[in-house]
Amino acid sequence: MKITKQRFGMLSDGTKVSLYTVQNKRMSFSVTDYGCTITSIVLTDSEGKCTDVALGYSTLDGYINGNCFFGAFIGRFANRIGKASFTIDGTKYQLDKNDGTNTLHGGFTGWDKKVWHAKAVSTKTQSGMKFTYLSRDGDQGFPGSMKAEVTYLLDDRNNLTCRYTAVTDKATPVNFTNHSYFNLAGGGTIENHLLKLNCESTLDIDAKLIPNGKMLSVKDTPFDFTSEKRIGKDIKLVGNGYDHCYVTAAYKPEDPHCGAPLTDSGLVRIAEVTEPSSGRCMTVDSNMEGMQLYTANWIGGIQGKNGRIYEKHGAVCLETQCFPNSPNMSDFPSCILQPGEKYKAVTVYGFNF
């Protein structure tokens, strides 16, 4: 396993930003300390051909100025919080309204726009990067000082493991995810990708994509991927594309901490994606009870890496997380992390090519 470091650029205040590449014999991923952002995932086939299966930008400026969250780590709270507010122990907290009247991915200045402390790490079977960040009390409107840790690890079996931990000194919501956009063909749309989800329900949402507390069976609907199906088969039947939270097999309503997991055990298989023409496959395993399926509905016309213009539905995001708006939904698993507890979330992206 090999880890290399190079300069990626500099912020306007003079802060240096680095890019790290972790490589085994068949694949590599690159990640920057700016937002713990995964900038590339490169797979090398048996003939030596390399294919980058992750969307992103070629330069730091792209990530600074972009708003698509390509490859970014999302915190403090991934996805949406309705009406940009929540109440804990009788105290109401007001957040940024950066998605209409709601909060999306933490607000106007999310953790994807912060420079994290980086350190190379290795175990007997994995190598990668660990990033740490201290979010002060009141950051983004959230209570409590939170210490967060993000670790991306690669092994020789072509598994990319994402581990997230956090501790806090005040009760506060927590919901972390990685927002990588995947295209296993390396170009075009993902409408011909085959997708299987081990998820029998989705969260019912309103017109602003905020869950209302109900869970809907996917059976006999366009949302049913319990058997392998082309992503594009029913995509026109769901409006602009998929942007919905699926309920995974990790959902255990009897466990009050399943929304803010205190253990990284209990991984379940959530998704399997196959690109038929190349035969490349990706699996997703996690201990999170939710997964946002997003089919890149709003990236059409954006210039990405190497000058390439991305197409609408040019990628698929599989964002493992707790349920959106869970700070305001008493029937959802609690996402509230208490002082003395440690949040532990893990997701594994496995590649077969």
The residues annotated with a catalytic role in the active site are: 179, 319
Q: Judge contact between 125 and 303, C-beta under 8 A.
A: no
The helix (run of H) or strand (run of E) holding residue 60 is helix 60-65
Token pair belonging to 209: 């994509």
Token pair belonging to 233: 């088969």
What is d(CA 101, CA 27) in angstroms, rounded to the nearest whole number?
A: 42
Q: Is 9 helix (H, G, I), strand (E, B) or coil?
A: strand
Listed in order, strand segments (DSSP E) in 45-197 are 50-52, 73-74, 80-81, 85-88, 91-94, 103-104, 117-122, 126-135, 146-155, 159-168, 172-173, 177-178, 194-197
Residues 6+ apart with CB under 8 A from 95: 81, 84, 85, 86, 103, 107, 140, 141, 142
Residue with token string 């051909």: 49
125 HSE (CA, 13 A, CB side): 7
Q: What are phi and psi of 305, to 5 degrees?
A: -60, 140
Residues 6+ apart with CB under 8 A from 330: none
Residue with token string 């079996």: 157
Q: Report the length, in residues, of the chain.
A: 353
What residues does 95 pair with on adjacent strands? none
Q: Is 312 helix (H, G, I), strand (E, B) or coil?
A: coil
Residue with token string 């600074």: 64
Token pair belonging to 313: 């539905």
Q: Is 64 helix (H, G, I), strand (E, B) or coil?
A: helix
Alpha-carbon torsion angle 218, 221, 224, 227, nearest 10: 120
What residues does 309 pair with on adjacent strands? 303
